[in-house]
Chains A and B, each alone.
Chain A
Amino acid sequence: MTSVNQDPGPDLVQVGASSDAAADLMASSFSEYLKIVGRRIRSGESGALPVIVGLVAIVIFFQVRDSLFLSALNLVNLMAQCAFIITLGMAEIFVLLLGDIDLAAGFTAACGAVVALWMLALGDPWWAAVIVALAATAAYGALQGIITAKLGLPSFVVTLAGQLGLSGLLLYLISATGSIGVGGVISLHDSIINDIENGYLSPTATWIVMIAVALVAGAILFYGDFRRRSAGLVAPPLSVTLLKVAGVLAAALVVAAVANQNRGRLIVVEGMPWSVLVVLGILFIWTVLLGRTRFGRYVYAIGGNTEAARRAGINVVRIRTLAFMLCGLTAGMTGIIYASNLGSISNGVNGGQNVLNAVAAAVIGGTSLFGGRGKMLHAVLGGLVVGVISNGLELLGLSAAAQLMWTALVLLAAVIVDRITRRGATA
C-alpha cells in the first residue's frame, strides 16, 4: 500500500463522513436515531428491542392476573431460577453462531455437576471441585467439536449421540459413587457452592455492587463511543450513548431495589442472590470474547460464510473446536449453578429438555439458528422470557403441560416474527 501511493487523495475523508452516511446510521441527532431504529426494526435488524417489549408485555400480563408476580419474593426467586437457563443459553450461543447446535449440553451440565458434587462429598475443596468439573465438561465439548469439525459431520447428529451417551454416563456416574449417591441423588455439601443460588449479598453490598457494575458498564459504553467520536469514526450520537448508560444504571438500580426488599415472613430476608453476579460476570467475559477478540470475530465469520473464512486464512477446524469447548465449559458452569439451585443433582435431570429450553431462550433473544447472528445478551433476555413464562404460569396454578405448550407458542411466535421481519428485509 505504501510503495505505490502516489495518489494525492484529495477526497480522502469522503467515505465515512459523507452527508449520505450521516443521514443513515450516523445519526447526528436523537430524533434521527429513532427514525433509523424504526427502519432497522422493520427491516429485521431489530436488535434487542422487540424481546424487551415482549418481556414487559408478558410481565404486565402476569401481574394483572396475579398480583404476587411482581412481589420481591417472586422476582428474586425468578432471578435464581433463570440463572441456569441463561447460562446454558450462553453455552449454546457459541455453537449456534457457527450454525451448529449442541444437543448434549444439558447432560454435559448434569455430568459436570455430578463430578463437582462427588468431589465435594469426598471432602475436596470447592475450588478444586469446580476446576475439575469445568475441565471435564470443556474437554468433552472439545471432543464433540473435533469430531464435528475434523470429520465434517453434522453437529446435530454428533451431539444427539452425545445426549444419549451422556444421559447413560449420568446414570453410571451416580451409581458408581456408591453410598454417596443414595437413591440416585447426590446432595450438595458445600456452603459456597450452595450460596451461588441460595446466598444473598447484604443490602448495603447489593447497592454498592450494583451501582459499581452499572458505573463500570456505563463508563465502558461511554468511553467506547467517545473514542470513536473523537477519532471521527462512525458512532452513535451522544444522546443515544447517554440513553444507553441511563438504561443500564436504571436496570441495576431496579434489580438492587427489588432484591433489597424484605421478602421474609418470619425472619428478615433481603439482598441480591449471588447468582445474579455470577451470570453478569459470565455475560461480561463471554461478550468481550465474542465481540473484541479475533476468536469471536472468526466465529461470526465462519457462521456467516465458512468458505470466505477459510479463504481468509482462518483455521476453521480450530475455531469450531474451540467454540464447542467453550460451549462445554459454559455448560459445566450451568451444571454447578443448577446443582446449587436444587441443593443436589439426581439421575432424573431432564437434560434433553433443559438444552432445548436453552436453545429456545437463545433464539427468542434474537440469535439465529443458522449461524452468524447473535449475542450473549440474547441468552439473558430469552432466558428471562422462558423463566418468566414458566414462573408466571406456575403462579397461576397451571400444570406443567400448559407451561410447556405456552413456552412452545412463545418460541414459535419469536421465530415467526423474526422470519417475517427478515423477509421484509430481503424483499
Chain B
Amino acid sequence: MRATARTPDGLIRQDVTVNDAEPLLRLRGIGKSFGPVRALTDINFEIPAGQVTALVGDNGAGKSTLIKTVAGIWEPNGGEIFWQGKQVHFHTPKEATNAGIATVYQDLALCDNLDIVQNMMLGHEDLKVGLLDEIRMEKEAKNTLADLRVTTVRNIRQPVGSLSGGQRQSVAVAKAVMQEAKLVIMDEPTAALGVKQTALILDLIKRLSGRGIAVLVISHNLVDVFQVADRIAVLYLGRLVKEGPKSEFTTDSAVHWITTGTGPTNNGAEAQTTEAQP
C-alpha cells in the first residue's frame, strides 16, 4: 500500500501520503447488539479521505448505531476499526474526537447563550498569561469561517441562539473543523432546514471535502445525497447491502436498495420497483 503512496516529500507527512491508498477509516466485520436485538451485522465499510460518503437507509436500518459506533459512543460487539491504517478502540467520544473524528449530531451541541467564537473555541480556548485570549480566538474563528466561506453570519460576536438553523449548522461544522477533524460525521444536517439553508449546508459539505476532510453524511433526502455525495452506502436491517461511487446508483435504484435491500435486476427492474413501492 505504501508503494503507491510514495511522493517526493513523503518523508515529512507520511501519515497523509499513506492516506492516498489506505482509506481514512476502515470498518471490518463490525457488529453491534443491544441485548437480543442485532442492530448491526458484519459491516465492512471504507471512508476515503477528502470524499463525501452518504449513509442512507430506512428508519431502523442502523445508520445512527453505525455512526455512534464510529464516534466512540458505543463499542462494537465484534469486528475491527482501522483509523489511518491503524487499529483503534474508541472507548469514549473524547477519544474519537482527539483522533480527529468529529460528529455533528442533530442537536448540534451548541450553547445558545455563547457567541459564535465562544462556541467554536469551547473546550479549546487560547490563553495568554492565564486569561482568555479573545483577540486570538476571534481571529482564528474568523479565518476558519472565511475558509469555509461561511459569510452569512452578520457578526461573529452574536449569540448562537440568534442564528438561523443553517447558520447554526455551519457553526457546528466550523467548530469541528477548528478542532482539526479529519473526518466529520453529520447526522441529518439538512433535515430541519429550508431550501436556501440546505443549499448553504450542501455547499459547506463540498468545501470540507475540498479541504481534504472526509465527510460522512446521514440523510433521508436522496436529492441532497445525489447532489453532494461522492460515494453512497446503503444500510438495510443492520447490514451494508450496497456501497460504491455515486455513478453506480440512480435515484430509483437507490430507493430500491433502501426499501428492499436488493438491487433492481436488469430484466425485471421496473416490475420489481413498482412491487416494492406499495
Contact = CB atoms under 8 A, between A and B. Distances in A.
A304 B146 contact: no
B132 A294 contact: yes
For the side of the interface on B, what is the size category? 35 or more
A305 B146 contact: no
Contacts of A308: 109-111, 122
A265 interface: no
A264 interface: no
A13 B156 CA distance: 12
Interface string A1-21: 101111101011111101011
Given A16-B142, A293-B132, A297-B132, A26 B155 contact: yes
B157 A234 contact: yes
B149 A11 contact: yes
A13 B145 CA distance: 10
A285 interface: no
A11 B138 contact: no
B178 A300 contact: no
Contact-residue bracket for chain A: 35 or more
B131 A288 contact: yes
Nearest to B213: A4
Contacts of A297: 114, 118, 122, 125, 132
A314 B124 CA distance: 10
B251 interface: no
B13 A9 contact: no
Interface in B15-52: 16
Nearest to B121: A297
Indicate the member of A3, A15, A293 with the most B CB atoms within 10 Å.
Answer: A15
B146 A303 contact: no
A123 B208 CA distance: 69
Contacts of B112: 304-305, 372
A24 interface: yes
Interface stretch (A134-142, A225-233, A337-345): A225-233
B94 interface: yes
Interface in B196-232: 210-213
B183 interface: no
Interface in A1-56: 1, 3-7, 9, 11-16, 18, 20-21, 23-26
A4 B147 CA distance: 11
B143 interface: yes
A236 to B, nearest CB: 10
A189 to B, nearest CB: 39
Contacts of A228: 134-135, 138
Of A23, A301, A314, most B-chain CB atoms within 10 Å: A301
A211 B125 CA distance: 35
Given A234-B155, A300-B113, A304-B111, A7 B178 contact: no
B180 interface: yes
Interface centre among A12, A294, A304, A372 (most CB of B within 10 A): A304
A293 B128 CA distance: 10
Contact of B157 (A12, A20, A25): A25
B130 A11 contact: no
Given A294-B127, A308-B109, A313-B94, A14 B151 contact: yes
A323 to B, nearest CB: 16
Contacts of B153: 15, 21
B86 interface: no
Interface string B103-126: 000010111111000100011110
Given A5-B147, A25-B157, A297-B125, A304 B213 contact: no
A234 B156 contact: yes
A233 B94 CA distance: 32
Nearest to B208: A4
Interface on chain B toward A: helix, strand, loop, or mixed SS? loop
A227 B135 contact: yes
Q: Which of A20, A233, A314 is packed against the most chain B CB atoms within 10 Å?
A: A233
B6 to A, nearest CB: 18
A312 interface: yes
Contacts of B149: 11
B157 to A, nearest CB: 4
B177 A4 contact: no
Contact of B143 (A6, A12, A307): A12
B210 A231 contact: no
Contacts of B91: none
Interface in B121-178: 122-125, 127, 130-132, 134-135, 138-139, 142-147, 149-151, 153-158, 177-178
B190 interface: no
A309 interface: yes
B69 interface: no
B123 A314 contact: yes
A1 B146 contact: no
B198 to A, nearest CB: 21
Given A3-B16, A314-B123, A234 B138 contact: yes
Nearest to B128: A292
A13 B132 contact: no
Contact of B113 (A16, A288, A303, A307): A303
A309 B122 contact: yes
10 contacts: A4-B211, A4-B212, A5-B147, A21-B154, A227-B135, A233-B138, A233-B142, A293-B132, A304-B111, A305-B109
Which 8 residue pairs of A and B lie closest in terms of their CB atoms, listed nearest first? A312-B123, A4-B212, A304-B111, A304-B113, A372-B113, A308-B109, A312-B122, A313-B123
Interface of B: 13, 16, 93-94, 97, 107, 109-114, 118, 122-125, 127, 130-132, 134-135, 138-139, 142-147, 149-151, 153-158, 177-178, 180, 210-213
Given A13-B146, A21-B153, A309-B123, 19 more contacts: A7-B147, A7-B211, A11-B149, A15-B153, A16-B156, A23-B154, A24-B155, A25-B157, A26-B155, A233-B135, A294-B127, A297-B114, A297-B122, A300-B111, A305-B110, A308-B110, A311-B93, A312-B109, A313-B123
